[in-house]
């Protein structure tokens, strides 16, 4: 009976749920990008920082150097260097591990006959380990640091678990820990849940980061002052 339930869940997660999750992901991302775009209002003509207008004071080379140093001192790199490097490493591996996993490439080939690039399985295993270690670091940070704990709610812990579960189950499946069919089924279910929640939760910053920086032109983007958020 248990085996039948697991196989039914595996078939559902690998078939209808996967297609539904992919559809919700695509539609959700398009909807959120459109929503973000409509929430902005054109304020002035976009201009790159290198463009000097008549009202823009000309800085001397020494003043430009001091300005760059001041920006660096106020950046996350200077204020929280450990968090900065862990976050960069976490997000890089978070993208690379699932996108370049050999198992995922084989599934795409079986479904559409396309052979996407992949990395050797031992390297993917290392990237997955890095993601898990970084996730543990984020969890401990939320539990230990009072200033982070104060702004952390149950939703933050649930979202962290939502992100980490596909990697943890994939790690267990690769190393053949526990019952393989059960673990790979949990891996598929967790991966689909992550795809579904991505456009509608904080997890979406992984995708919308590029839109915010390049299209909305935030204060730290290449073109500043071109858009304002509506009230």
pLDDT over 60 at 229, yes or no: no
Q: Where are the beta strands (DSSP E) in the chain?
A: 40-42, 227-229
Residues 129 and 194 in one domain: no
pLDDT at position 31: 87
Within a domain: 86? yes
Mean pLDDT to the nearest integer, 12-32: 89
pLDDT at position 149: 87
**Which of these three, 112, 134, 152, is where a domain ends?**
152
For the beta carbon of residue 94, count every other beta carbon within 10 angstroms.
20
pLDDT at position 42: 52
Within a domain: 68? no
pLDDT at position 10: 87
| pLDDT > 90: percent of the chain | 29
Within a domain: 57? no
Residues 34 and 100 in one domain: no
Residue 170: closest CA among 96, 104, 92: 104
Within a domain: 98? yes
Within a domain: 187? yes
**Which of these three, 152, 169, 190, is where a domain ends?**
152
Residues 78 and 129 in one domain: yes
Within a domain: 85? yes
Total domains in the fold of the chain: 2
Residues 28 and 93 in one domain: no
pLDDT at position 220: 45
Show Cβ contacts of residue 199 under 8 Å, excluding neighbours closer than 6 positions. 24, 25, 28, 29, 31, 32, 207
pLDDT at position 205: 73
Q: How far from the centroid of its chain's Cα atoms is residue 106's Cα?
A: 23
For the beta carbon of residue 21, count every other beta carbon within 10 angstroms.
21
| Domain carrying residue 90 | 74-152
pLDDT at position 4: 86
In the block, which residue shows the tokens 């993208």?
Answer: 95
Q: How far from the centroid of its chain's Cα atoms is residue 222's Cα?
A: 21
- Tell me the average pLDDT of the chain: 78
pLDDT at position 224: 45
For the beta carbon of residue 174, count every other beta carbon within 10 angstroms.
19
Within a domain: 48? no
Partnered with residue 40 across adjacent β-strands are 229
Residues 145 and 205 in one domain: no
| pLDDT > 70: percent of the chain | 71
Q: Please state the pTM of the whole predicted model.
A: 0.74
Q: At what angle do helices 16-38 and 2-14 cross, to 10 degrees?
A: 40
pLDDT (tens digit per residue) in 161-197: 999 999 999 999 999 998 999 999 999 999 999 999 9
pLDDT at position 113: 81
105 contacts 116 by C-beta, under 8 angstroms: yes
167 contacts 186 by C-beta, under 8 angstroms: no
Q: How far from the centroid of its chain's Cα atoms is residue 77's Cα?
A: 19
Residues 207 and 145 in one domain: no
C-alpha distances out from residue 77 to 6, 81, 166, 203, Å:
46, 5, 29, 22
pLDDT (tens digit per residue) in 91-146: 889 889 998 888 888 888 887 788 888 889 999 999 999 999 999 999 999 998 88
Within a domain: 33? yes
């Amino acid at each position: 009976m248990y085996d039948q339930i697991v196989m039914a869940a595996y078939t559902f997660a690998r078939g209808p749920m996967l297609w539904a999750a992919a559809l919700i992901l695509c539609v959700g991302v398009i909807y959120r990008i459109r929503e973000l775009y409509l929430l902005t209002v054109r304020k002035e003509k976009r201009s790159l920082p290198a463009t000097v207008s008549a009202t823009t004071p000309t800085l001397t080379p020494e003043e430009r150097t001091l300005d760059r140093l001041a920006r660096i001192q106020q950046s996350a790199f200077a204020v929280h260097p450990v968090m900065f490097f862990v976050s960069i490493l976490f997000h890089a591996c978070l993208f690379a591990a699932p996108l370049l996993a050999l198992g995922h490439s084989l599934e795409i080939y079986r479904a559409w006959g396309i052979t996407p690039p992949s990395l050797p399985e031992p390297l993917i295993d290392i990237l997955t380990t890095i993601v898990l270690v970084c996730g543990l670091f984020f969890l401990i940070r939320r539990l230990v640091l009072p200033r982070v704990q104060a702004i952390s709610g149950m939703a933050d812990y649930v979202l962290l678990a939502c992100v980490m579960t596909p990697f943890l189950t994939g790690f267990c499946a690769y190393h053949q820990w526990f019952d393989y069919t059960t673990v790979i089924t949990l891996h598929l279910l967790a991966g689909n849940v992550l795809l579904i929640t991505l456009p509608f939760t904080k997890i979406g910053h992984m995708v919308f980061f590029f839109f915010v920086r390049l299209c909305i032109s935030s204060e730290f983007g290449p073109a500043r002052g071109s858009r304002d958020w509506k009230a």
